[in-house]
Amino acid sequence: MAGGDDLKLIGAWPSPFVTRVKLALSFKGLSFENVEEDISNKSELLLSSNPVHKKVPVLLHKGKPICESVVIVQYIDEAFAGTGPSLLSSDPHERAVARFWAAYIDDKLVASWMQSFRGKTEEEKSEGTKQMFAAVENLEGALRECSKGEGYFGGESVGLVDVSLGSLLSWLKATESPK
Ligand SMILES: N[C@@H](CCC(=O)N[C@@H](CS)C(=O)NCC(=O)O)C(=O)O
């Protein structure tokens, strides 16, 4: 594995956003030091590395912090372009489409999903659920188009959108209705 001491990930294991970064590091075959954060008692390292949002994940590369999971995944792909598979296409249009859907996942799917269980009223929750299903439908259409009949949003190999969406599987399990 490449990377070694140069990469330190400030994370918290239940976070799907942290999982995104772990998936990207793993697909690229990069080793890293995992720094588990207590988000109810944030460390000085987290606060000084991400003073704007004060959230995990933060990746430290040679001591320099990079924040926001989707930004970090793209950084990993660029900074370690010669290592492992590419998570973004070499084609600018395909890259733009992947970034569009990665943003859609956070702005529409994650936001409505959170509303479906954190909404203040039953109406707010059910509106969240409705919007979440609409987002899933749009993503299914996008998968059909982007995958070109192969298994992934990235075509025949895993890419930014697969990593962004795949990281949410733990949440899916956790929020599934009991049978
Ligand atoms: N948009 C951010 C979201 C990160 C995020 O929400 N992290 C949560 C853990 S799942 C966090 O650090 N929460 C601490 C807080 O809100 O104070 C990303 O993609 O990295």
pLDDT value for 173? 80
CATH architecture group of domain 4-79: 3-Layer(aba) Sandwich (3.40)
Q: What is the pLDDT of residues 36-91, one digit of tens each?
A: 999 999 999 999 999 999 999 999 999 999 999 999 999 999 999 999 999 999 99
**Distance (Å) from CA 128 to ligand 1 centroid:** 20
Instruction: Return the best residue to mutate from 13, 17, 106 for the ligand 1 pocket (most ligand atoms within 8 A of CB).
Output: 17
pLDDT value for 15? 95
Instruction: Return the best residue to mutate from 36, 43, 52, 55 for the ligand 1 pocket (most ligand atoms within 8 A of CB).
Output: 55
- d(Cα 90, Cα 15) in Å, to the nearest integer? 30
Atom of ligand 1 nearest to the CA of 12: 9
CATH 1.20.1050.10 in the chain is located at 92-175
Atom of ligand 1 nearest to the CA of 70: 19
- DSSP letter at 29 equals T
pLDDT value for 149? 86
Q: What is the pLDDT of residues 11-45, one digit of tens each?
A: 999 999 999 999 999 999 999 999 999 999 999 99
Q: What is the pLDDT of residues 141-179, one digit of tens each?
A: 999 999 988 889 988 889 999 999 999 998 888 877 665
Q: What is the pLDDT of residues 88-102, one digit of tens each?
A: 999 999 999 999 999
Atom of ligand 1 nearest to the CA of 72: 20
Helix (H, G, I), strand (E, B) or coil at 165: helix
- d(Cα 61, Cα 179) in Å, to the nearest integer? 44
Question: Among candidates 44, 49, 46, 57, which has minimal Cα distance to 18?
Answer: 57
Residue nearest to atom 19 of ligand 1 (CA): 69
pLDDT-derived band at 110, boundaries 50, 70, 90: very high
Residue 144: CB atoms within 10 Å: 10
**Distance (Å) from CA 154 to ligand 1 centroid:** 25
**Distance (Å) from CA 55 to ligand 1 centroid:** 4
- Average pLDDT of the residues in 122-142: 96
- Residue 3 pLDDT > 60: no
CATH architecture group of domain 92-175: Up-down Bundle (1.20)
CATH 3.40.30.10 in the chain is located at 4-79
**Distance (Å) from CA 144 to ligand 1 centroid:** 30
Mean pLDDT, rounded, of the chain? 94
